[in-house]
């Protein structure tokens, strides 16, 4: 069964026309929302981590670079390791209350 593509005839394999498939937009990243509109959620997790506690920051809406920068700032402030994966900031250890306080100080007012 063939997939239906928007605006393309069924069974078309190749076209020499330069603007035939010009319906693709530019591959731009999503704009980063202002800090006061970000709905960040901070929670603790131990699942699949051998009983070790990690702090997760979820809900960031914006570019991957801005998410990585925020993750770096939080890791530096906590003085611990962590990573940024799949839209989550993962911080090693229980820093939930501290991270919420820092995020609110930095202008992320909708943080819980």
Domain spans, the chain: 35-105
Whole-structure pTM value? 0.71
CA 80 to chain centre: 20
* 35-105 belongs to CATH 3.30.780.10: yes
Pairing outcome for strands 88-92 and 82-85: antiparallel
Give the angle subtended at the CA of 36 by the CAs of 30 and 41, to the nearest 5°.
Answer: 80
* Contact of 55 with 91, CB cutoff 8 Å: yes
pLDDT tens across 68-109, in order? 999 999 999 999 999 999 999 999 999 999 999 999 999 999
pLDDT tens across 5-52, in order? 555 556 656 667 766 655 555 544 568 888 889 999 999 999 888 889
* Contact of 62 with 33, CB cutoff 8 Å: yes
Average pLDDT of 51-62? 93
Query: Residue 85 corresponds to which tokens in the numbers above?
Result: 């994966």
């Amino acid at each position: 069964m063939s997939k239906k593509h928007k605006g393309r005839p069924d069974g078309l394999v190749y076209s020499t026309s330069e603007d035939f498939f010009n319906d693709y937009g530019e591959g731009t990243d999503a704009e980063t929302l202002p800090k006061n509109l970000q709905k960040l959620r901070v929670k603790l997790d131990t699942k699949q981590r051998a009983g070790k506690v990690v702090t997760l920051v979820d809900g960031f809406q914006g570019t991957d670079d801005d998410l990585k920068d925020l993750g770096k700032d939080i890791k530096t402030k906590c003085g611990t390791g962590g990573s940024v994966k799949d839209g989550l900031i993962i911080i090693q250890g229980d820093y939930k209350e501290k991270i919420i306080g820092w995020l609110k100080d930095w202008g992320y007012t909708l943080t819980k």
